Amino acid sequence: MLNDPLAAALSKVINAERVGKKEVVIKPASSLIKRVFTILSENNYLGTLEEVEDGKGNALKISLLGNINKCGVIKPRFSAKNNAYEKWEKRYLPAKDFGILVVSTPKGVVTHLKAKEQSTGGKLLAYCY
């Protein structure tokens, strides 16, 4: 039994990247995991995503690009106000304008940059650089 499926999925991806694999299969694939990996793919940290139907929970097949230095979940899932993202950037990202924070907002799961644009707060889910 997995206590945190998102953390397990991100650690599986980072471990596969470190040993030089070209693709990884994430199972089970929840809608939150799919959305987080879609955001990472849109920001060129991951390659293509393909959903594989297996009848029990489905799986995601992800092609790796080798662009991830580090990624992980943020526990506990802190609340971030729309004007306080800089504080969280300093805590989880190594430098200014380097990497992304994934945030669950009322307008969906987005990066912290898009959340700043929309001027909305949310819960911090993950970081990647």
The residue out of 45, 64, 83 marking a domain boundary is 64
pLDDT at 1 over 70: no
Interval 25-49: pLDDT, tens: 999 899 999 999 999 999 999 999 9
pLDDT tens sequence across 93-112: 999 889 999 999 999 999 99
Phi-psi region of 119 (alpha: psi -120 to 50; beta: other; left: phi over 0): left
As for how many domains the chain has, the answer is 2
79 and 97, same domain (yes or no): yes
How much is the pTM? 0.93
Q: Could you list the residue range(s) of the whole structural domain that residue 79 is in?
A: 74-128
* 83: amino acid identity, one letter: N
The CATH number assigned to the domain holding 49 equals 3.30.1370.30
- In terms of Cα–Cα distance, which of 81, 85, 122, 103 is closest to 32? 103
Average pLDDT over residues 49-78: 93
The answer to the question of residue 9 being in a domain is yes
Whether 51 and 78 map to the same domain: the answer is: no
